[in-house]
A and B are shown apart, each in its own frame.
Chain A
Amino acid sequence: MQKRLLCLLPVLAVTACAAPSQGPKYNWGNYSPALVAMDADPSSAGNYQAALAKIVNDSNGQVPPGIFAEYGYMLQQQGDTKDAIAMYAREKSAWPESGFLMDKMIAALQTPAQPKPAA
């Protein structure tokens, strides 16, 4: 009886200890390493953008929070306004919490403040 109880203790202790690990909730791909690399060397921005594109294209409806918007922001930086707006709209639709910010981002792109002189 005592021996059996002692047998159980380590099992219980280990069980109690173990975090309810259910694996990562989303696929973040290469998000953090690519962002760190871009911060260290801005010329690797393309690599970061590719990492975001891969997450968006690989995750079947499980794109992590913020990623559509991060991808949209990179598109916006390149002047790809149409696709940037589409990504902001997807972020808003996937995550209602982002609605206020995404509306602001979209509105800013739809109403250019100053028409730039033609190059």
Chain B
Amino acid sequence: MHKSLLSVLALAGLAACAAPTAPKDYSALNAASPRSILIVPVVNNTTEVDAANTFLDTLAPPLGNRGYYVFPVNLVRHTMDDSGLGDANLVAQASPTRVASLFGADAVLYATVEQWNAQYILLSSSITVQIHYVLKDGKTGAVLWDQDETTVYVPQGASGGNPLADLIADAVIAAVTRAHPNYIPLANQANAEAFNTPQQGLPFGPYDTRHGGF
């Protein structure tokens, strides 16, 4: 009995962290070894109007915490406006080396929100977001890293351990989410999955003692 329980536990533990995909090829990124990342305005291919700014405004902390110098996002956005690069689609189509040279950046991070599907059902809600991240070399324009991230976000409330109270709380959260959406936790979740997953995300940058590792 004990033994079988332990077996199940062991399997559950292993299944929980099974790596779904092969490790990425980091040779280009390691060769370029960027110290600084310029985050450019996010392209929005969805009808969710807040998606682009929510992602743009949440990208600096995870990249900075990863050990890279991250250029000041708001200053950069307004400076780009003044340089005729006010629109995210224009920036995405411009030469990465030109964009990088305006700011002295080693690498440029592009993000595109490809899908945004909100499902509101009676007692809870979930949002499925697909976002594509590409890091390009500021000197050559070559792709150093990219990630197609799909994340399912479920607004969480603190559970009090009372099923009825939880049901009511979930219903309230669903209603609140519909009226005043706060998408920052969603963006944080997608960014963390994209950047921090070992062998898939971005290796630690020069300001982390684990530089080059995960």
Interface residues of A (CB under 8 A from B): 2-3, 6-7, 9-14, 16-17, 19-20, 24-26, 28, 31-33, 35-36, 39-40, 64-67, 69-70, 72-73, 91, 95, 97-101, 105
Interfacial chain A residues near B16, Cβ < 8 Å: 13-14, 17
Q: Residues of B within 8 Å of A, CB-based: how many?
A: 42
Interfacial chain A residues near B64, Cβ < 8 Å: 25-26, 28, 64-66
**Cβ 8 A contact of B71, one of A12, A25, A32, A98:** A98
Cross-chain contact B50 with A100 (CB below 8 angstroms): no
Give A104 Cβ to nearest chain B Cβ, in Å.
8
B69 contacts the other chain (CB 8 A): yes
Interface residues of B in 190-214 (CB under 8 A from A): 196, 198, 207-208, 210, 214
Chain A binder among B2-10, B122-130, B144-152: B2-10
**Interface residues of chain A: helix, strand, loop or mixed (majority):** helix
13 pairs of residues in contact across A and B, judged by CB atoms under 8 Å? A3-B6, A6-B3, A6-B7, A11-B13, A19-B198, A33-B184, A35-B57, A35-B73, A69-B71, A69-B72, A70-B73, A91-B72, A100-B103
Interfacial chain B residues near A9, Cβ < 8 Å: 6, 9-10, 13-14
Interfacial chain B residues near A100, Cβ < 8 Å: 103-104
The answer for the CA separation of A30 and B63 in the assembled complex, in Å, is 16
B96 contacts the other chain (CB 8 A): no
